[in-house]
Amino acid sequence: MEIKIRDDFPLLQRTVHGVPLVYLDSAATSLKPEAVIEAEATFYREVGANVRRGAYELGAEATERYESARAKVASLLGARPDEAVFTRGTTEALNLAAWALGETVIGPGDEVLVTEMEHHANLLPWQELVRRKQARLSAVAVTAEGELDLEDFRRKLSPRTKVVALPHVSNVLGTINPVPEVATAAHEAGAVVVLDAAQSVPHMPVDVRELGADLVAFSGHKMLGPTGIGVLWGRREILKDLPPLLVGGEMVHEVWLDRATWDDPPARFEGGTPPIAQAVGLGAAVDYLQAIGMDEVRRHGQELTALVLDGLLFRPYVTVYGPADPGARGALVAFSLAGIHPHDVATLLDREGIAIRGGHHCAQPLHRKLGIPASCRVSFHVYNTIDEVRLFLEALDGVWKALG
């Protein structure tokens, strides 16, 4: 299966510094299969019209393809199509959630509860919200093992808590958080639960009903889809009470010179021309993943994660961050080499054709908690292989020999 899958990804045919590319940075963005590239190009070649506007065949066909993509995304999540809002990505989806909840449930003295493991995209919008509303931001601690401190969560959860925001999978630690348990406690306290699922939806089965969160955000480009497209899923009863972040064409029911009434979700949150071709490409990515099976996607990611964990933990010059159990992780591992800056590690690996991430991964507060300025990160998707893990580990030994 690995050989057939790799043949579907054109970028894997290229070389870097004269050697074959080994791409281990899918947590930042995934490669795109030919089916996704062709779906987006075909839309431009064969349709190209705007959606929800023209009373002509091309306009109707564009709308049909756009809404078909929405239905595919909803099916992947175990949700209804009218609960899936298209955005430009996880960041816009979380900004929309924070803005809308700020207008409806947050007031002076209220509290938003986040975690110490947040990506900046699920931290900065809440910082801005509490500043704007004179509310308070608090963060749940992370344990020494890289897990969410549930005792600290229960201590900090209070009747003042109106929103609990957390990642499903940490983009640094790889930790899979116990979202159903958190959501149950948050709901008992009367809080809305917002989930950053950017590192989970692309890699494992996700049923939003079972998770229990109220709003779930993720990006297309991390799940083999195009850039510029993301999703905010919301419970119907939540979405219907939220105001839009962007106002303009095609998101209104009626407009007068002095007032307007909003359309029903999801159109209410999709003002202006949406990312139509990107949505079509995302629909093709969902088709591709479902043809493999999300259980198989998860199994493959766990296998590679277990191999790289074993290899890194065996090397005394390496420090690994996050759970040691690959079953408790997403498909990524962050680590550091004693005395060597992650940027230097990534640069030397790049000379061997191996692309990894070196930096703070848009999680500076977490890196301060870990006592480091940055880390290295390897991450996987369906096109990666066991041989690539071995090549990476061998090249890492070369880095240590050169700089350690």
Q: What is the pLDDT of residues 325-345, one digit of tens each?
A: 999 999 999 999 999 999 999
Residue 3's pLDDT is 53
pLDDT band at 24 (very low <50, low <70, confident <90, very high): very high
- Same domain for 265 and 395, yes or no, is no
Closest CA to 161 of 188, 183, 189: 189
Residues 6+ apart with CB under 8 A from 371: none
Higher pLDDT, 333 or 55: 333
The catalytic residue among 246, 247, 318, 362 is: 362
- Same domain for 68 and 19, yes or no, is no
What CATH number does residue 9 fall under?
3.90.1150.10
Angle subtended at Cα 367 by Cα 364 and Cα 369, rounded to the nearest 5 degrees:
115
Give the end of a domain, one of 243, 273, 290: 290
- Return d(Cα 294, Cα 282) in angstroms, integer: 15
For residue 1, pLDDT over 90 is answered with: no
> Lowest mean pLDDT: which of 38-42, 48-52, 281-285, 364-368?
48-52
- Same domain for 286 and 297, yes or no, is no
- Same domain for 146 and 201, yes or no, is yes
Residue 55's pLDDT is 82
- Same domain for 115 and 261, yes or no, is yes
For residue 250, pLDDT over 90 is answered with: no
- Same domain for 380 and 326, yes or no, is yes
For residue 221, pLDDT over 90 is answered with: yes
- Same domain for 190 and 253, yes or no, is yes
Chain centre distance of CA 115: 16
Decide: 224 and 30 in contact? Cβ < 8 Å: yes
Give the end of a domain, one of 275, 290, 305: 290
Q: Can you say whether residue 184 is alpha, beta or left, with left for phi > 0 and alpha for psi between -120 and 50 degrees?
A: alpha
> How would you class 258 by CB atoms within 10 Å of its CB: exposed for 0-12, middle for 13-18, buried for 19 or more?
exposed
Residue type, 24: L
User: Percentage of the chain with pLDDT > 70?
Assistant: 99
> Lowest mean pLDDT: which of 37-41, 117-121, 250-254, 371-375?
250-254
Decide: 171 and 90 in contact? Cβ < 8 Å: no
User: Residue 223 — φ and ψ, nearest 5°?
Assistant: -120, 40
Q: What is the mean pLDDT of the chain?
A: 96
What CATH number does residue 214 fall under?
3.40.640.10
**Beta strand 19-20 pairing with 15-16:** antiparallel
- Same domain for 209 and 61, yes or no, is yes
Reply yes or no on whether 362 is catalytic. Answer: yes
Closest CA to 106 of 295, 242, 237: 242
Report the DSSP beta bridge partners of residue 336: 319
User: Percentage of the chain with pLDDT > 90?
Assistant: 97
- Same domain for 183 and 198, yes or no, is yes
Residue 2's pLDDT is 54
> Lowest mean pLDDT: which of 1-10, 77-86, 302-311, 325-334?
1-10
- Same domain for 156 and 237, yes or no, is yes
Report the DSSP beta bridge partners of residue 194: 165, 215
- Same domain for 231 and 313, yes or no, is no
Give the end of a domain, one of 290, 307, 328: 290
Question: Span 370-380, mean pLDDT?
Answer: 97
For residue 209, pLDDT over 90 is answered with: yes
Give the total number of structural domains in the chain: 2
Domain residues for the domain of 141 are 37-290
- Same domain for 241 and 361, yes or no, is no
Residue 52's pLDDT is 85
